[in-house]
Structure 1
């Protein structure tokens, strides 16, 4: 599993900043504020994503995705859990894969492999199969919310 410590975080910080988000590094061994899953999983509070060096990159991208899909006025009240619906959760999963593709040393394929290793479950058996063959509704949600272009590029 690709961890935050495996990367130069400048690219992730720049990507998050593009969406008005901040990445705060938590010291090794410290509890991660706003982590829904605990342990090494990323956390969210307001417009900030919290992570340690041992936090999986896909977790950082997933939690960032939760904040990206929210309008800024809703972000302010977020603490730990940001999901509003299944459609929104699906959109976040799709977005984390797209965002991974924008990061040097990461890539969409690696994000999907790590999602599978973490235990995400999709009807078609893998993140890749879902992304390529069963995620039209998630993609449409992101396009409708002006987070992806019709060509599939992030806004």
Structure 2
């Protein structure tokens, strides 16, 4: 049985609160397909298990109870990869520290493109879910310690601010 959610985890914005078409359109702009999984069904390609998002090649899988930060995080793993590596992804996108950092940075940036989300909300949700950074919060990391991640994104022609 899964451990009960903490109050902080329970407050995290879920995919079911977004217009699905908006999220799908955002990801489609990066060559990804967003798939809606039925309630209670297993999420294909989920590394951490339900309700976390899953990835397989250019596909991102979510349920209504998937946290928005998880959908963006897994999608951004695929976005930062070259096409030939993206095609090989199934469940575990990378073991590269810089790709992980770039993924975290990009998910914060892309949150601004989702109505009702935005970077401030997403960073608060990331903290509530348990993301940890040496500066103590997602916002502190993003504002003061993510230069290498931004450089990585910029080199690949991706949004970096």
Give the TM-score category using the shorter length: over 0.9
Q: Distance in 2 between matches of 1:6 and 1:148?
A: 25
Find out whether 1:4 has 2:12 as its counterpart: no
**Local SS of the residue matching 2:125:** helix
Please list every run of at least 4 consecutive aligned residues from structure 1 whose deviation after the TM superposition is greater than 4 angstroms: none
Residue matched to 2:50: 39
Residue matched to 2:111: 100
Q: Structure 2 unaligned segments of length 5 or more: list them.
A: 1-11
**Local SS of the residue matching 2:47:** coil
Find out whether 1:56 has 2:89 as its counterpart: no
CA deviations 1:67-124 (Å, max 9, x no partner) are 0011122111100011141011000000000000111111001110110011000011
Residue matched to 1:141: 152
Residue matched to 2:32: 21
**Local SS of the residue matching 1:142:** helix
Q: Distance in 1 between matches of 2:20 and 2:147?
A: 31
Q: Distance in 2 between matches of 1:4 and 1:132?
A: 26
CA deviations 1:17-69 (Å, max 9, x no partner) are 00000000000001100000002000000100000000000000000000001
Residue matched to 1:83: 94
Count of matched residue pairs: 150
Q: Structure 1 unaligned segments of length 5 or more: list them.
A: none
Q: 2:133 aligns with which of 122, 126, 140?
A: 122
**Local SS of the residue matching 1:50:** strand
